[in-house]
Amino acid sequence: MTDSQIDPQSEHSAGAPSAVRRQGLAIAALIILADQATKWWVLLDVMNPPRVIEVLPFANLVLVWNRGVSFGLFNTASEHGPWILSALAVAVSVVLLIWLLKGPNRWVGWGLGAILGGALGNVIDRMVHGAVVDFVDLHVAGAHWPAFNVADSAITVGAALLILDSLFQRDKSS
């Protein structure tokens, strides 16, 4: 098959790139909605008053105000931090959106949508609260993973999809 022929079964056939774009954007929107809904639920109901709630022997619900990036990285008390991190996240989101609009394959489109939704969900928090609401606390034998939220989970899953796609992508030139 030459490059000029279209394989109707291919993910890159006539309608597939627009379907992947729609799916990626829908995933981003669903993640933003789920992220914001869970954060407001935690703030207004679950953590009112703030406390530690044991859900499983290895998982708690807590209230953590994260002034850094995903999983508490670069957490500082700087008054400019939320604005700098939000500007960076918006810039990265624009790049991801452009990539998504170019019509990647399904796994890449889904991964980009997940990362985009997670990044924008955390930007909303920074703009509204000056910090990101984290509430899931996983731990084993007294060692705690940094608290996280739906947006952080989506970013992680999206990055994993991109990595898996790059590892298992078949050579398209043959």
Express each pLDDT in 51-80 by its tens digit.
999 999 999 999 999 887 555 555 666 677
Residue 149 — very low, low, confident or very high, per pLDDT cuts 50/70/90?
Answer: very high
CA R_g for the chain? 19
Q: Is 134 labeled as catalytic in the residue annotation?
A: yes
The residue annotated as part of the active site, out of 125, 152, 165, 171, is 152
Q: What is the pLDDT averaged over residues 2-8?
A: 43
The 10 Å Cβ neighbour count of residue 155 is 24
In the chain, where are the structural domains located? 16-168
pLDDT at 12 over 60: no
pLDDT at 9 over 60: no
- State the pTM of this model: 0.81
pLDDT recorded at residue 67: 83
pLDDT recorded at residue 173: 46
Tell me which of 75 and 115 has the higher pLDDT: 115
How far apart (Å, rounded) are the C-alpha atoms in residues 95 and 144?
33
Residue type, 147: A
The residue annotated as part of the active site, out of 45, 134, 137, 165, is 134
* Percent of the chain surpassing pLDDT 70: 81
pLDDT recorded at residue 98: 92
The answer for 142, left when phi > 0, alpha when psi is -120 to 50, beta otherwise, is: left
How far apart (Å, rounded) are the C-alpha atoms in residues 81 and 77?
7
Which CA distances in Å does 146 have to 5, 26, 62, 82, 138? Answer: 50, 28, 11, 19, 8
Q: Is 45 labeled as catalytic in the residue annotation?
A: no
SS3 content of the chain, % helix, strand, coil (to 5): 55, 15, 30
pLDDT recorded at residue 172: 54
